[in-house]
Structure 1
Amino acid sequence: MKKNEKALVIIFGGTGDLAQRKLYPSIFQLYKKGYLKENFAVIGTARRPWTDEYYREVVKDSIDGMYDEQTVATEFASHFYYQSHNVTDTNHYKTLQALAQSLDEKYQIGGNRLFYLAMSPRFFGTICDHLKSQQIMTETGYNRVIVEKPFGRDLASATELNDEISKSFPEEDVFRIDHYLGKEMVQNIAALRFGNSIFNSMWNNRYISNIQVTLSEALGVEERAGYYETAGALRDMIQNHVLQIVALLTMSAPVSFTDTDIRNAKINALKCLKIYSPEEVKENFVRGQYGPGNGLIGYREEAQTAEDSMTETFVAGKLMVNTMDMAGVPIYVRTGKRMKTKATRIDVVFKQVPNNVFEDSDLRHDVLTINVDPEPSLSLQLNSKTIGQGFDFDTHHLNLDYKLSPEQRAAIPEAYEKLILDAMQCRASNFAHWKELQCSWKFVDAIRQAWDQNVDQVAFPNYDCASMGPKASDDLLAKDGNHWEFNC
């Protein structure tokens, strides 16, 4: 039986794109599925002078097409309230406190408050400080805060940001969103590794040759060019999404499947991530920037970018996680904009048999492929005898395709839907712990500093739109006698 969650959700940045594209539809799905019923309310805050009525129309527009009866949308939207709010004005928090208290009583919420900071991180500290000083945080229920990335732009700024938040919220009440951790097949990594003896026994350096992680995007920077100029692919994708996936792929088995033990296992894996010197960065990392090609403009021609921009839109690297089980196993990662296709894919390449008794046959590696996006699936590539005379080999695949009906597909929780419910139910394993961020920033800072010293003397642009990135990315694996398994 589904639990009827009682919560007052206060969204700072309630008029923004994230709220309208992701948050309101996700909250509506929780409502449709019965996780939210009568005992919830949402307050949207931003600087725009909206009314409750106008705000509710915006909410209904954001869920257009997700319901059969208009009355359902109207009833859902009636739980939404708006306050025009300047996050630096103390008086506005007094008004917010009064509204929050009245809604708590009206909907019998019991003091449960979930604060969603969907705005610039420079305001996080100010907001959290006011939430505590103006007693918007309650003593009768829970008080949890969800924060979006980017969480800092280096270790120093991330530490400063974390210190500001921790003055008001203890670590167990801070939920740092990484929406990749809400994806079905990313969450399936633990099930595959620790729920199957065949993989559990072979997931180590005795059997794994290398691991490959690809997060490719077909789109360019679009309207995010202004932000992207200050971030680049390294900070935007490697520091969070990629390293979170790497942690799940390389962590040791947790003592139990609890938030604390899972997080400890991930933290230990990231602590063992080798941090490179500038010369090692040059040997193990590649950066790229897309130029014009296939009828598309290059990064430097995008609006809000510099004509001579050295911002990377592509990163490929070789990582080493020096745990007892994974030491010596290269983990190759790559991510980029304007690549040939949009996909998130993991390939686990197993070692060849130690003694090939089929001397005249060229056996290929066994490969476990986890397709995360766009279509979730699993595939295990194996060597098998071809049918007929002789003893020739070919590769065949054991496939698990989630062939879902439109109704089943619609029922799959979107990442934000899962994560919002996790925060309400205090399931923290799919959120990044501060110690995980410390480790990831230390690793990324070393790369960024080496690039800022221009140790690799790279010339941009160096790959065409609708390609799989610069040739140097392929060369990175070729140096080890390997190749990208995913070459669409």
Structure 2
Amino acid sequence: MSKESRHPFLQGLSKHRGVQPTIITIFGASGDLCARKLVPAIYNLAVDNLLPADFYLIGYGRKPIPDEEFREVASDAISKFSRRSLNKEIWERIEKNTFYCSGGYDEAEAFQKLSDKIASIEKDAGREMQSVCYISTPPSVFEPIIKNLGEAGLATKYQSSDKHTKVVIEKPFGKDLESARNLNRVIQGVFQERQVYRIDHYLGKETVQDLLVQRFANSIFEPLWNRNYVDNVQITVGESLGVGTRGGYYEQSGATRDMIQNHTMQLLALTAMEAPASLDAESIRDEKVKLLKAIKPLRLGYSDSDVVRAQYGEGLIAGEKVPGYRQEEGVSPKSETETYAALRLTINNWRWQGVPFYLRSGKRMARRVTEIAIQFKRPPSSLFSENEMFNLANNALVFQIQPDEGSTILLNGKIPGLQTRTQPVKMHFRYSTTFGSNTPEAYERLVLDAMIGDGTLFIRGDETEASWNLITPLHDFWKSEGQRGIETYAAGSWGPNASDRMLWQNNHEWRRP
């Protein structure tokens, strides 16, 4: 019986860039991310005929469970979290190639059993396959997993061929510069950089990928993308939710570690970087690193500081009263952890000299939104600034990354009528309106790219270190200051007044998305 007839739902292999036979092992298979994102992503790739004919899924976790139970858990996850309903025929054909291995993350014997299982799958299939190891665990076990993959011979499997092992590593990648450097050293002792895929799911979002297209495929934008025309750039990552039951975790993280060092800095790099020489992964990542290294160190202190930190207090969310951060479960009443942070960055290069970049991220903000706003300078003419009939705003190009992916251009237009009166108007583009609402989720793109070996949307080791090099001095300063300088803001607001004052120093103000 041919391989195609054994896998009729994937006849003809993948229609996307030739995905080779693959075995994916998910470490942390009983975790929330696996259920909510990874298994549904794999299922939707199968629906779209984007998996190879020989595809196998192995879950790995501490709890010993039979293969059948893991298959049921995976099926339930698809039914609950997939953007498409469960097609039993497609799932049954994936299900029979789904297995589970149990063991500790620091147990060499368990990793040898995993290696034996992979070898057994290859023997039964009659061919060699690439191995993709997806580390979806707490960061405390990243290091033992990586070392044990090396000890079991899984890291160097088929190293000289295109079937070499790939390792995908979830965030957070370190908690400061030194820990990031140490983790990179551990990885480099086992894997080559071309095998490593540090994941940031924001890079898989359609609007984030669209940034490069808008910048470099449209001649109306790129000539304006510099200090001559741009007044300021604002990147907002707001969440309306609080910490919920994750107070204990968040106490060790905070807004800068949880959102700014990774997601927000990646958005900044793609927004401000120079044009890459090509669309290959290394060219794009080279430019991102150059941009991150061009950011000036933050001015810290309490006079003309580049940083504001705050915690949310009591307030109203959707008309309901919610507690302040220090009243949340697992949070110390003397907590020094920021739930909101705003940064003013200066990029020391020719393109952006003198243009401030404002970054902010917080919990319990007015609404859930992630956006990048390019604010342009006002026209030099005073033709339409003589009286109150002319309501003018700075032109802006805004990329909405969530919840409604798309972009908006803010212009000034004439109000219909016999008098010449103006007001700001908006031109909207929404992915759901133009292309339909059932677009692939970020993890579908990222899992697929990892399988085919495309690192464009993943983070290189020197990128993580460049980002931590900016953020770590900030954390060290806050640690030395204790609770001093922590502002408060009402839940349901857009942040503390101190954040507004930081922008007023440059005659700017935050957008209200």
Using the size of structure 2 for normalisation, the TM-score is: 0.90
Map 1:373-452 → 2, pairs under 5 A: 373-404=402-433, 408-410=436-438, 412-452=439-479
Alignment equivalent of 2:506, drawn from 470, 477, 480: 480
Provide the rounded CA distance (Å) in 2 between the counterparts of 1:32 and 1:402: 21
Inter-partner Cα distance in structure 2 for 1:269 and 1:366: 25
- One of 322, 345, 350 as aligned partner of 1:296: 322
Task: Note the 1:166-245 alignment, pairs <5 A.
Answer: 166-245=188-267
- Please name the residue that 2:341 is paired with: 315
Secondary structure, in 3 states, of the residue corresponding to 1:222? coil
In 1: Cα distance, 2:186 partner to 2:498 partner: 41
CA RMSD across the alignment: 1.9
Residue number in structure 1 paired with 2:79: 64
Match of 2:148 among 130, 141, 150: 130
Q: Distance in 2 between matches of 1:287 and 1:453?
A: 14
In 1, Cα distance between equivalents of 2:437 and 2:423: 34
Deviates more, 1:217-226 or 1:122-131: 122-131
After superposition, the C-alpha distances for 1:173-220 in whole angstroms (9 at most, x for unaligned) are: 111010111111011111111111111100000000000111000111
Q: Please name the residue that 2:130 is paired with.
A: 112
Q: CA deviation at 1:68?
A: 5.1
Against the structure 1 CA distance between its residues 109 and 149, is the aligned structure 2 distance closer, same or farther, given a 3 Å change threshold?
farther
Residue 58 (structure 2) aligned to one of 18, 43, 56: 43
Residue 387 (structure 2) pairs with residue 365 (structure 1): no
For 2:25, the equivalent position in structure 1 comes to 10
1:402 Cα deviation after fit? 2.8
**8 A contact 1:5–1:35 mirrored in 2:** no
Corresponding letter in the other structure for 1:300 = R
Displacement of 1:317 after TM fit? 1.4
Structure 1: distance between partners of 2:443 and 2:302: 37
Q: CA deviation at 1:357?
A: 2.9
Paired residue type of 2:441: E
Q: 2:111 aligns to what? A: 93
Distance change (3 Å), C-alpha of 1:109 and 1:338: farther
How many angstroms does 1:222 deviate by?
Answer: 1.9
- 1:474 CA displacement: 1.4
Deviation of the 1:455 alpha carbon: 8.8
Name the CA distance, whole Å, in 1 between partners of 2:86 and 2:477.
55
In structure 1, the residue matched to 2:375 is 349
Deviation readout 1:207-264 (Å, 9 max, x if unpaired):
0000011100011112322211111111111100010000011101111111111011
Q: Write out per-residue CA displacement over residues 299-318 of structure 1, whole angstroms, 9 at most, x where no aligned residue.
A: 11211111111110001111
Change (3 A) 1:239 1:438: same
Tell me if the contact between 1:284 and 1:318 (Cα under 8 Å) persists in the aligned partners: yes
Name the amino acid aligned to 2:294: C
State the TM-score, normalizing by the size of structure 1. 0.95
Distance in 1 separating the partners of 2:304 and 2:465: 23
Matches within 5 A, 1:322-333: 322-333=348-359
Taking the aligned partners of 2:185 and 2:31, their CA distance within structure 1 comes to: 26
> How far apart are 1:382 and its partner, in Å?
1.1
Aligned residues: 484
Corresponding residue to 1:275 among 271, 289, 297: 297
Match of 1:32 in 2: 47
SS at match of 2:481: coil
Q: Which moved more, 1:277-286 or 1:359-368?
A: 277-286
Is contact 1:277–1:446 with CA below 8 Å preserved after alignment?
no
Runs of 5+ unmatched residues, structure 2: 1-14
Query: How far apart, CA to CA, are the structure 2 residues paired with 1:252 and 1:10?
Result: 37
For 2:303 and 2:121, locate their aligned partners in 1 and report how far apart those are by CA, in whole Å.
54
Aligned mates of 2:266, 2:491 — CA distance in 1: 27
Q: Does 1:454 align with 2:499?
A: no
Contact 2:405–2:432 (CA under 8 A) maintained in structure 1: no
Task: Tell me which residue corresponds to 1:153.
Answer: 175
**Is 1:469 the equivalent of 2:491?**
no
Is the Cα–Cα contact under 8 Å of residues 40 and 107 in structure 1 kept in the other structure?
Answer: no
Report how far residue 431 of structure 1 moved: 0.8
Distance 1:383-1:31 versus aligned 2 partners, 3 A rule:
same
Cα distance in 2 for residues equivalent to 1:109 and 1:299: 55
CA offsets, 1:108-161, max 9 Å, x none? 562301011111223222222222222224125121100011111110011111
Report the CA distance between 1:389 and its aligned residue.
2.4
- Residue of structure 1 in register with 2:6 after alignment: none
Check whether the contact 1:214–1:345 (CA below 8 A) recurs between aligned residues: yes
Q: Which moved more, 1:76-85 or 1:193-202?
A: 76-85
- Is residue 298–residue 345 contact of structure 2 (8 Å, CA) maintained in 1? no
Residues 459/322 of structure 1: CA separation in 2 closer, same or farther (3 Å cut): closer
Deviates more, 1:145-154 or 1:1-10: 1-10
- CA distance in structure 1 between the aligned counterparts of 2:127 and 2:450, rounded to whole angstroms: 16
Matched to 1:187, the amino acid is Q
**Is the 8 Å Cα contact of residues 201 and 442 (structure 2) preserved in structure 1?**
yes
Q: Report percent identity of matched pairs.
A: 35
Confirm whether residue 256 of structure 1 aligns to residue 284 of structure 2. no
